[in-house]
Amino acid sequence: MIHDPWEPPEVPLAVDLVILTLRGTSLQVLLIERAIEPYQGAFALPGGFLAHVEEDLGTAARRELAEEAGIEAGSLYLEQLGVYGEPGRDPRGRVVSVAYLAVAPRLPEPVAGSDAADASWQPTNRVLSGELVLAFDHRRIITDGVERARVKLENSALATAFCGPAFTIGDLQEVYEAVWGRPLDPRNFYRKVQKASGFIVPVGREQRTTVGRPARLFRAGLSSVLSPPITRPVAPAADAADTHPEEEG
């Protein structure tokens, strides 16, 4: 409707990172404690503005991942989660944020970065249940990220990204149980992962030190999509986030 010379409005663009890892049998998310206003002292996702106007979004995500958590994203699963851009989500003014999901095997304790007073791993359960209060709309972003990871586990070989280069089927099962938040039958799980062609391949029939019978070691296969999928039981979030229903954004 406007044919006059008109400059399109420009908005500050940020990336937020949902970094999930497994610590023990708990699915945890990397959070920082904000050192500056707004939301000073509150937990928040790592992230930040683009470094310059031509920076690629994925590049920015990997840069923030390295800066704020000391994680090199080379071998990391990284996926766009969505755009969070309602006016008012940031009290400083209009900020549009692109959320990325990253998943990593057991990681060391993070070190606090530039604008963070602290950085730490926190169980996703404490976030999903509302026990931890987060800045901005970051609770919703984490909720979306965890649900995305749960679905990804069904259809993709994502679970192997949580494991080391060699793992047992029991290790893999622990990953599924931690992310899905429910126990699985070892026998049926065994059958399923074996049937998904290209999911895992046995590595030179080595064993592992245990109390019982040693387990075979596997490594990630070439397939990134699982067929048939590893279906998860019904009632998607029955024990991990069953405290109260979610409000919609």
| 86 or 239: CB nearest a second copy | 86
Strand bridging mode 116-123 / 96-104 = unpaired
Cβ-contact 103, 20 below 8 angstroms: yes
Of the two residues 2 and 222, which places its CB atom closer to a second copy in the complex? 2
The option from a second copy, DNA, none interacting with 131 (CB < 5 to 8 A, set by class) reads none
Least spacing, CB of residue 122 vs a second copy, in Å: 24
From the CB of 196, what's the least distance to DNA, in Å?
9
Q: Site mask, DNA, residues 205-224, x = CB under 7 A?
A: --x--xxxxxxx--------
What does residue 59 show for φ and ψ, rounded to 5 degrees? -65, -45
**Which helix (H) or strand (E) is 195 found in, with range?**
helix 186-195
Shortest Cβ distance from residue 115 to a second copy (Å)?
A: 8
Cα–Cα distances in Å, from 110 out to 60, 67, 78, 161? Answer: 19, 10, 18, 19
Question: Is it true that the peptide bond before 236 is cis, omega within 30 degrees of 0?
Answer: no
Beta-carbon contacts of 157 under 8 Å, excluding residues fewer than 6 positions away, are 199, 220, 221, 223, 224, 225, 226
Residues 88-117 within binding reach of a second copy (CB under 8 A): 94, 96, 98, 114
- The only residue of 12, 165, 186, 233 in contact with a second copy, by rule CB under 8 A: 12
Interaction of residue 10 with a second copy, rule CB under 8 A: yes
Selection from DNA, a second copy, none that 73 binds (CB < 5 to 8 A by kind) is none
Is residue 219 packed enough to be buried (19+ CB in 10 Å), middle (13-18) or exposed (0-12)? Answer: middle
**Chain residues that interact with a second copy, rule: CB under 8 A:** 1-3, 8-14, 49-57, 67, 80, 82-83, 85-87, 94, 96, 98, 114
